[in-house]
């Protein structure tokens, strides 16, 4: 069996802390010393989704800091849905960098973490000097209200983002069997276990999980890994995580002054060729020359699904570290 190109993850090597932010506290998992790289996960994940990147970045001379986004894991979970605006997530990232004693950072995000990272760079270019986006490309604020756009994407069915809008509905599907639901969604968006019909839409009266594949875990996920995710979400519930989806229209209103504005810092994009996101956001990728004029490299990994830094950790690590080292010498 081929060996990984970078050091393996060891929980004992990770430093954990809680830092104060405007919305409460954010849990940070750190490894290494050097220039700060802030890692922001997506839905439904945790800091643990960067477990393969933490030791690799540390070995390459960087200080890697993976957070639990507000609403997740050990971080604070404000009760109000409007506390999960994009502006709040950006404020959390700013507070984390300051709490870690740094004056600047490179920010990297996956899934929902990608737009959080991109907007952090957009709103605070003084603090976030470069941005790496995984799976979800940067798409600046546009003229249409997001919920209207998502309704059109669903066609005769309901697009998954629209399905998540109503408070309590997705929770009622997920929380009776958190571990089973997580196993299903991870498999449904992974190479090798992804259903041909996809899971982007929900039929009337149905559930998102109705289209999850049957069978075992995807190859990148062990039972022990799933235990970590399930244990945290069984403890916290899913409302905080789902509230990110319930703020898309508020974000659109909050970011009116940045309509169509590009992120100009050096940037990196890495997506999976089998990821549905690279299909329904293909236009955003084509627009990179305008929306990400500082783009250094864009990669689409053949045979890779959505959970890119976990499905293909060695390849992602090589691309990310190579890009980071290029920033230092460029």
In this predicted structure, what is the pLDDT of residue 5? 55
- Backbone φ and ψ for 288, nearest 5 degrees, come out as -55, -40
246 located within any domain: yes
β partners of residue 108: 39, 132
Active site residue 111: yes
Q: Position of tokens 């995807």?
A: 218
Which tokens hold the place of 51? 């477990």
The domain that holds 55 is classified in CATH as 3.40.50.1820
In this predicted structure, what is the pLDDT of residue 1? 33
Displacement of CA 35 from its chain's centroid (Å): 21
1 located within any domain: no
Tell me the per-residue pLDDT of 128-169, one tens digit each, with 9 for 90 and over.
Answer: 999 999 999 999 999 999 999 999 988 899 999 999 999 999
Active site residue 16: no
Region of 244 (left: φ > 0; alpha: ψ -120 to 50; beta: rest) is alpha
Q: Which of 92, 111, 251, 275 is flagged as catalytic? A: 111
Number of folded domains that form the chain: 1
4 located within any domain: no
d(Cα 129, Cα 134) in Å, to the nearest integer? 17
d(Cα 123, Cα 303) in Å, to the nearest integer? 34
115 located within any domain: yes
217 located within any domain: yes
| Beta strands 295-301 and 267-272, pairing class | parallel
Stated pTM of the model? 0.96
Low-confidence residues in the chain, pLDDT < 50: 1-4
In this predicted structure, what is the pLDDT of residue 82? 96
125 located within any domain: yes
6 located within any domain: no
Q: What is the domain extent for residue 135?
A: 11-329
27 located within any domain: yes
């Amino acid at each position: 069996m081929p060996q990984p190109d970078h050091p393996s993850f060891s929980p004992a090597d990770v430093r954990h802390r809680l830092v104060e932010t405007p919305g409460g506290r954010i849990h940070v998992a750190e490894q290494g010393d050097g220039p700060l790289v802030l890692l922001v996960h997506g839905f439904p994940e945790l800091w643990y989704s960067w477990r393969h990147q933490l030791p690799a970045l540390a070995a390459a001379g960087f200080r890697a800091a993976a957070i639990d986004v507000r609403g997740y894991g050990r971080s604070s979970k404000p009760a109000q849905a409007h506390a999960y605006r994009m502006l709040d997530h950006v404020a959390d990232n700013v507070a984390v960098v300051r709490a870690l004693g740094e004056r600047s950072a490179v920010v990297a995000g996956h899934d929902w973490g990608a737009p959080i990272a991109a907007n952090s760079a957009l709103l605070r270019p003084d603090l976030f000097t470069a941005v790496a986006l995984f799976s979800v490309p940067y798409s600046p604020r546009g003229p249409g209200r997001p919920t209207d756009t998502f309704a059109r994407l669903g066609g005769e069915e309901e697009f998954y983002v629209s399905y998540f809008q109503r408070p309590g509905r997705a929770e009622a599907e997920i929380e009776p069997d958190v571990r089973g639901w997580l196993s299903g969604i991870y498999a449904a968006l992974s190479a090798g276990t992804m259903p041909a019909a996809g899971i982007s839409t929900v039929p009337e009266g149905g559930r998102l999980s109705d289209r999850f594949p049957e069978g075992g875990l995807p190859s990148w996920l062990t039972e022990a890994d799933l235990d970590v995710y399930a244990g945290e979400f069984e403890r916290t519930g899913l409302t905080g995580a789902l509230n990110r989806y319930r703020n898309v229209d508020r974000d659109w209103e909050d970011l009116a002054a940045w309509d169509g504005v590009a992120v100009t810092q050096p940037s990196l994009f890495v997506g999976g060729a089998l990821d549905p996101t690279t299909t329904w956001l293909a236009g955003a990728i084509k627009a990179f020359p305008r929306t990400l004029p500082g783009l250094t490299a864009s990669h689409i990994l053949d045979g890779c699904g959505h959970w890119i830094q976990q499905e293909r950790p060695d390849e992602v690590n090589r691309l990310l570290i190579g890009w980071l080292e290029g920033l230092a010498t460029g």
